[in-house]
Structure 1
Amino acid sequence: MSRQHRDVLSLEWVRLELVRTAYATRGGVLAAMDPRAVLAWYVLLALAPWFTHNLTVLAALFAVGAVSVLLARVGPLVLGLFGIGLVLELAYIAGAAWLFGGDTQTVLALVELTLKLGTVSLASMAAFVSLDPEKLSDALLAMRAPTMLAFGVSYGYRMLPLLVDEFSDVVESYRLRTPAPAPGFLAWRSVVRLVRLVVLAFYPVFLNTAQSVRTTVEALETRGFTSAVTDGRGRRLRVGHLQVTGYDVAVIAVTAGAVAVAFWAGAQWPLFR
C-alpha cells in the first residue's frame, strides 16, 4: 500500500496530471463548447459573487461552482491543491478570530471572503481545465486580443509540462551523483538532501529552458511567424472554425438561471440578517 502511494505521488504522476490539465484531455461539459462561450461562462460565474454580501447567495454560488468542477472532470491534483488551500484558509479564519479577539461578525466577514474566492477558484478550474492551449489562443484572437498575447498564453501552457519534466530529470541526475545520507531521526537528513537538490536544480532548469525558448523562436521565424502576426489573413484563418452553437447558449443559460436562483434564494432565506 505504501509503495502504491509513493508511485501515485511521484513527479511522473504530477507531470502527467499537468499535461492532462493543460491539454484538456479529460473531456467534460465545458470541453465541448466554443472557447469564447467558455470564457463568457467563466466571466458570468466569476463576477456574480462580488455583487452580494449575502451568505446564502454565496453558499449557493459555491455549490454551483462545485457542480461545474465535477461536470468539467477536473483532475485530482488541482482538486487536491484547492482542498488544501481551503482547509488552510478555514484554519486561518479560526486562528485570526481567536488571536485578535474577534467576534461572530469577524468570522462571518472572513467566511464571506473565503466563499467569494472559492467560487472564483472553482469557476477558474472548471473553465481553464476545459480549454487546451489552441482553443484558448484562438478564443483570444477571435476577441481581438493582441496576437503576441495569444501566442504567449499558448506557449506558456505548452512549456509547463516541459518544465516539470526537465526539473525531474535534473533532480534525478543530482540524486544519482550524490550518496544518500543516513536517514536519522524522522529521516530529516533525507529531507534536507532533497531540499538542497531542489535548490541546486533551479539554475540548470532555467538554463535549459532558455535554450528551448531560443530554439522555438528560431523555428517560428523560419516558418514566417512574424509575417503571420502582421497579416490579418492569418488571424481570420485561425479563428475561421469557431462557431457558437445552441449547446453553448444552453449551458450559459442554465448557469445564468442557477445564478438567478441563488440570488432569489438569498433574498428569501438569508442565513444572517
Structure 2
Amino acid sequence: MPTADRRRERKERDTLSVEWVKLELLRTAYATRGGLLASRDPRFVIGWYLIFAVVPWFTHDLTVLAGLFLVCAVAVVLSRVGPLILGLFVFGFVLESLYVLFAAWFFGGDLSTVLALVELTLKLATVSLASMAAFVSLDPEKLSDALLALHAPAMVAFGVSYGYRMLPMLMEEFHTVVDGHRLRAAPLPSPGFLGWRAVVRTGSTVVAAFYPLMLNTAKRTRTTVEALETKGFTYAAEHPAGRRIRLAHLKADRWDVVLIAATVLLVAGCFTLGELYPLPVQVG
C-alpha cells in the first residue's frame, strides 16, 4: 500500500505539472498577468519591440549590447513574464554561454573569438527578451487590431488572432487523442532500463496522435471559416467603414508617447556609454 500511495502521489504531481504548463501557456498567450506594457496602446508596444529588435544589429560594441540587454531584462520583469517562458529563456541562455566557451576552446580560438561569439549571443538574447516583454503583454485581439491599424493585410491580422484562439483547442484536442491511445494500449510489463520503454511508448503515441490532431483541427478550421464568411467577415475586414468601427477603441495617450521617448533616451544612453567605455569585439 505505501508503494501504491507513492505512485498515486507521483501521478498527481505529474498531472499537476502538466496542468501548470498548460495554464502558463494560456496565461502567456492571453496576457492575463498585466504589467508595464499590457495597458499601453498595442501599436506603440509593437513600435517599442521593433526598436530593440533592430537596434542591436547596428552595433558591435559589447558595452552598448550589454546596456540594451539590461534594459530589456528590466522590461521583462516589469511586464511580469511567467516563470515557464522565463525559465526556458534562462536555460537556453546558459547553454548558449557554455557553448560559446566550449566552441572557443575546442577550435583553438583566443579572446577575440570569445568576444565575437558573445556579441552574437547578446544580440539574440536582447531580441528574445524584447519579444517576451512585448508579446506577453498583447492578447490576440490587441495584436490583431494593432496589425490591422498598421495597414497589415486583413488576412494576416485574422491569422494571428485565429492562431491564438486555436491554441487552447489544440491543447485540448491533443490531450483527448493521447488519452484515447493510452486507453486502448496495453500497460507496459516494465518500464525497462532507465525507463526506455516508457520513452518509446510516449514517442510513438505522440507520433500516432499527430494525424488525427491535424484532421480534427482542419475540420474545426473549416467550420469556423464558413461561419465567419457567412457573417461577412472578409468584407467587413477590408471595407474602410468596418475597419474604422473595429479600430475605434485604439486610442493613444501621453503615456504611450512617454514610453517611446523613454525607450529612445535609454537606447541613446547605451550608445553614449559605448562611446565612453568602448569594448570592441577585436582586441589586441
Bucket of the pairwise TM-score, normalised by the shorter protein: over 0.9
Whether 1:101 aligns to 2:108 is yes
1:27 equivalent to 2:34? Answer yes
TM normalised by structure 1 equals 0.94
1:180·1:190 contact (CA, 8 Å) conserved in 2?
Answer: no
**2:208 is aligned with 1:239:** no
In the alignment, the residues of structure 2 paired with residue 14 and residue 158 of structure 1 have an alpha-carbon distance, to the nearest angstrom, of 17
**Which residue does the alignment assign to 1:199?**
207
> Which of 63, 78, 88 is residue 85 of structure 2 equivalent to?
78
Quote how far apart the aligned CAs of 1:110 are: 0.7
User: Could you tell me which amino acid in structure 2 is paired with residue 84 of structure 1?
Assistant: F
Query: Which has the greater radius of gyration?
Result: 2
Which of 249, 256, 259 is 1:248 aligned to? 256
Find the counterpart in structure 2 of residue 266 from structure 1. 274
Match of residue 224, structure 2, among 186, 199, 216 = 216
Question: What are structure 1's unaligned runs of at least 5 residues?
Answer: none
- 1:149 equivalenced with 2:193 (yes/no): no
8 Å contact 1:15–1:165 — kept in the other structure? no
| Aligned partners of 1:138 and 1:239 also within 8 Å | yes
Report the number of matched residues: 272
Q: Distance in 2 between matches of 1:143 and 1:97?
A: 44
Q: Which moved more, 1:85-94 or 1:130-139?
A: 85-94
Distance 1:73 1:88, change over 3 A: same
Deviation at 1:159, TM superposition (A): 1.3
* Number of the residue aligned with 1:170: 177
**RMSD across aligned positions (CA):** 1.7
Q: Deviations over 1:22-59 (max 9, x none)?
A: 11111001000001010111111222211211111111
1:68-112 CA-partner distances (Å, limit 9, x unpaired): 111111111211221222122122212221222211111111110
TM-score, L = length of structure 2: 0.91
The question of 1:115 aligning with 2:93 is answered no
Counterpart check, 1:56 vs 2:63:
yes
1:2-13 → structure 2 map (5 Å cutoff): 3=10, 6-10=14-18, 12-13=19-20
